Amino acid sequence: MSDTHQPEQPAATGSGPWLERRYFIDVARPRRTPAQLMAEVQADVARFAPELLANFKKKEGCESGLRVGEEFEITILGPWNGCVRVTEVGATFFEFITLEGHPEAGRIHFEAHYLDESPEVLRFEIRSRARSRDGLVAFAYNTTGIGKRVQEATWVEFCRRVAAAGGGQALGDVTVETITKDESGTHDHERHA
């Protein structure tokens, strides 16, 4: 890999409200364990993303699998292209951080695990903690809703595709939760399927 990387764009450098978004789907009696399912996702992240909304292309590194430090270029519907870097990889999870120029500033975590209260049910979950990179993106995301709709459609479809790869029976559709925190500390919580 190259020694020259784009700078990271953590949430603290962003603009607008802090958003914690969570997308998850539960699957009963999956044919794959969380580690088996995550190995499949890590082998080809792009396969699970809806190409028209978010096309993932690894910039450099191994063709399959994920390694800390690898970067992806993401072509996002509209003027929203950006890059992410792999910051963590484990048997049942991985995490990206956004890089300078990405529409968001923050991290996104992908994980598969069994539910404590229902060990025969596997949950695939995507959790992001981010802000818009600047005021213009914050306006488009929060006021017009364009960015929010594209992002939600991307991760909902990603979850559906991972659930299908896991086999078993999906217990409903993807649930989306959003917690918004503004600079005054006010919280807003939204949840829907």
Q: How confident is the model at residue 79 (pLDDT cuts 50, 70, 90)?
A: low
Q: How many CB atoms lie within 10 A of CB 34?
A: 19
- 151-180 pLDDT, tens per residue? 899 999 999 999 999 999 999 999 999 988
Which of 18-22, 93-97, 126-130, 183-187 has the weakest average pLDDT?
183-187
**What's the confidence (pLDDT) of residue 100?**
92
* 0.95 surpassed by pTM: no
CB-hemisphere CA count at 13 Å for 172? 11
Cβ–Cβ < 8 Å for 36, 43:
no
In the predicted model, is pLDDT for residue 113 greater than 80? yes
What is the C-alpha separation between 85 and 9, in angstroms, rounded?
Answer: 10
Residue ranges of the domains in the chain?
Answer: 11-192
Distances (CA, A) of 139 to 16, 130, 131: 8, 15, 12
Task: Write down the pLDDT at residue 7.
Answer: 87
CATH topology of domain 11-192: Alpha-D-Glucose-1,6-Bisphosphate; Chain A, domain 4 (3.30.530)
Give the pair of three-digit tokens for residue 147: 């960015």
**133 φ/ψ angles, rounded to the nearest 5 degrees:** -70, -30
Maximum distance among all Cα pairs of the chain, rounded to whole angstroms: 46
The answer to whether 22 and 159 have CB atoms below 8 angstroms apart is no
Alpha carbons 193 and 184: distance in angstroms, whole number: 29
Q: Is the pLDDT of residue 191 over 90?
A: no
Cα–Cα dist 42/65, whole Å: 5
